[in-house]
Structure 1
């Protein structure tokens, strides 16, 4: 189990830093709509792999949710069907979830925004899901080119989403903290007048070209 302190630091560092420091792996590469703008959260993945246009698996996953988890909702083929709305989000909030990643649509978007739960979704659509296909819960899924296993750490913020394998969370955190320090040093240099064009040696390369 990943330590809560590690998860909190990964959330603070954010998607871009963790993705880059982790060797540019794990990016959940879609355009995500953040219903509560500007938030950054992370947590272990609780996964629902839904049937086509169906959200029965979401109800099962919500019944299993633990505090601090990120609920990951997807289908074999993503479609703009609303897998959650305000009634399911009411339950998700009560369970103490850290956030929700929806590889499909949400509805009741205005209400969801006021509820405060961090939700990143592919679409906002009124079209509702059926409840006739059980689907699967807590199985590995692929979303946006990234494999997400149950318990892997999913990070959501204004830049998008990324995932870190639970077994690599500590090493990725260490690399992310080092990157943060390097960026702070570079930022100070730029404030003092250094140009990235020179720092990276591009000026000399261009002279020799």
Structure 2
């Protein structure tokens, strides 16, 4: 794994999002099928036709080890774009994980497979295979545009992304934030209160 990607994965979604200037959040209620998992990787994107997963089959032929499959369609709906058979291909190809801006099915099988998957819904209702869709194109999910190769970070808090050109800058910002948080954590462990340290108590007392 690229060292920058590994650091972003280790830092997690909340830290990366904050350090990156509160940018990149995929502001959707995601369901992780393997809670407790943290991953990151370059985005390999399929923009499916509406309620159709033909593009998912196509993108499997382009998927490279360590990439995060990002699957979406024009209107997010609880239609299963992925089940255990497609997930088997993704795992064999070395995907770091799958982000599904739609539904998955065979949820128990996917979890048992050990391939990290985040989804908006779990539904048995399956997609058609009639519309080619588009692959390796930018998409918008949860208010953020993701381009192919952008770094997607996923954990129990959800998903965020970093533009590929900003990876090194984001890592530097993450290191700085983690260092600052370590200092604050020690202060709080020693009994100091953020209410005082941030001047909130003094502001409230002046306002009385």
Same fold (TM over 0.5): yes
Q: Does 1:132 align with 2:130?
A: yes
Trace 1:61-80 onto structure 2 (pairs within 5 A).
61-80=59-78
In the TM superposition, residue 40 of structure 1 has moved relative to its aligned partner by 0.4
Trace 1:145-164 onto structure 2 (pairs within 5 A).
145-164=143-162
In 2: Cα distance, 1:62 partner to 1:202 partner: 53
Aligned residues: 207
Greater than 2 Å deviation, 4+ residue runs: none
Secondary structure of the 1:170 match is helix
In the TM superposition, residue 24 of structure 1 has moved relative to its aligned partner by 0.2
**Paired residue for 2:114?**
116
Trace 1:181-192 onto structure 2 (pairs within 5 A).
181-192=179-190
Unaligned 5+ segments in structure 1 are none
**Paired residue for 2:191?**
193
In the TM superposition, residue 98 of structure 1 has moved relative to its aligned partner by 0.3
In the TM superposition, residue 135 of structure 1 has moved relative to its aligned partner by 0.1
Trace 1:1-209 onto structure 2 (pairs within 5 A).
4-209=2-207
In the TM superposition, residue 63 of structure 1 has moved relative to its aligned partner by 1.1
Unaligned 5+ segments in structure 2 are none
Question: Under a length normalisation based on structure 2, what TM-score does the superposition of the two structures give?
Answer: 0.99
In 2: Cα distance, 1:18 partner to 1:134 partner: 34
Question: Under a length normalisation based on structure 1, what TM-score does the superposition of the two structures give?
Answer: 0.98
In 2: Cα distance, 1:23 partner to 1:98 partner: 25
